[in-house]
Amino acid sequence: MKRLFSLLLMLAALPAWASLNVFATVPEWASLAREIGGDKVKVYSATNAFQDPHRIEAKPSLLAQARQANLLVAAGADLEIGWLPLVIRDSGNSAIQVGRPGYFEAANYVSRLDIPTVLDRAHGDVHAAGNPHIHLDPRNVLKVGEALAARMAELDAPNAAAYQAAYKLFAGKWQAAIGRWEKEAAGLRGVPVLVHHSSFVYLSAWLGLKEVGMLEPKPGVEPSSGHLGNLLARQQSAPAKMVLRTAYNQEGPSQWIAGKTGIPAVLLPYTVGGTNEAKDLFGLFDDTLQRLQKAVR
């Protein structure tokens, strides 16, 4: 009975331990917030690795979580445009409104790729601000981390030193890891690949992978048999070595290409939680590189 009572007391006190309540839209930035915040923060991830972050609904649970957040960490670059604006507005939470310190957009702190010169929906689901899947270049993670640590320090001044120290520790480990990854991935440079969706643009740019085709005929439009046939025909003249997809993409189209061409269909975790090995940001990149190397051999 006494133990039960103390357990209840602990549970009741739980929110008090966390001085910053973070609402992250995607698992990668939830993970980064945990690296920097440690036990000073309570982090909620609005989505998991098996959910297409473009297609989330403004669910009641998201509103309830956003209501209590001190800091909202979004990927930005319009990735969450179909649901996040509604969640923010209907949360009744003044702290996380766009433009306030409690609103943080990761994509603002990196150089974005694939910024379209023509904005026309005839080109599919285009993002005017560029490709939003920025986290798969680990150097971007560092830039976002620096900005996020500063923002957390600003919002929670008493713990500012702790956030900065945690970020420094993370950055040191991360930089060492980047060195290791780049060495490991040297053999991937120039390897031609097919991708399901344009989710790996930053990974390809970092590792020097050559994206020679996309299974979606236009971004956000599902692969069609006609388009897959064209890709197959192109395989004769410009052969790709593997076909990449995320944990939330359907596997059918990749498997079809793989079956017809004999190249491996590779599932990459894409974000934290996408595979069993991708438990945190380090695991995400370790596992991504391992899977790529296994496929290229």
Q: Compare residues 96 and 185 and give the one whose CB is closer to another protein.
A: 96
Taking the CA atoms of the chain, what radius of gyration do you get in angstroms? 21
* Least gap, CB of 183 to another protein (angstroms): 26
- Least Cβ distance, residue 143 to another protein (angstroms): 6
**CA 25 – CA 42 distance, rounded (Å):** 14
Q: In what order do the strands lie in the sheet with 192-195?
A: 210-214, 192-195, 242-245, 265-267
Nearer to another protein among residue 96 and residue 231 (C-beta): 96
Beta carbon nearer to another protein, 89 or 279: 89
99/158 with CB nearer another protein: 99
Minimum CB distance to another protein, residue 99 (Å): 5
Nearer to another protein, 109 or 181 (CB): 109
Structure tokens at 250: 């359907």
Instruction: Compare residues 169 and 221 and give the one whose CB is closer to another protein.
Output: 221
Encode burial over 127-147: b for 16+ CB neighbours within 10 A, e otherwise: bebbbbbbbbbbebbbbbbbb
Write down how long the chain is.
Answer: 297
> How would DSSP label each residue in 157-177?
GGGHHHHHHHHHHHHHHHHHH
Q: Is residue 213 classed as helix, strand or coil in its secondary structure? A: strand
Contact 216, 222 (CB under 8 A): yes
3-class DSSP assignment, residue 53: coil
Q: Which residues, 6 or more positions from 59, have their beta carbon under 8 angstroms from its beta carbon?
A: none
Residue 65's contacts (CB-CB under 8 Å, 6 or more residues apart) are 23, 44, 46
Nearest to 286 by CA among 272, 295, 297: 272
Interacting residue ranges for another protein, rule: CB under 8 A: 47-48, 50-52, 54-61, 63-65, 67-68, 76, 81-86, 89-101, 105, 108-112, 115, 117, 121, 124-125, 128-130, 143, 146-147, 150-151, 153-154, 220-222, 248, 250
Instruction: Find the shortest distance in angstroms from Cβ 178 to another protein.
Output: 17
In the complex, the smallest distance separating the C-beta of residue 146 from another protein, rounded to whole angstroms, is 6
Q: How far is the CB of 164 from another protein (least distance, A)?
A: 10
Q: How far is the CB of 228 from another protein (least distance, A)?
A: 15
**CB neighbour list of residue 148: distance below 8 Å, 6 or more residues apart:** 29, 32, 33, 36, 73, 104, 106, 167
**How far is Cα 57 from Cα 242, in angstroms, rounded to an integer?**
33
Cβ nearer to another protein, comparing 9 with 98: 98
- Which C-beta is closer to another protein: that of 128 or that of 176? 128
**Least CB distance from residue 179 to another protein, whole Å?**
21
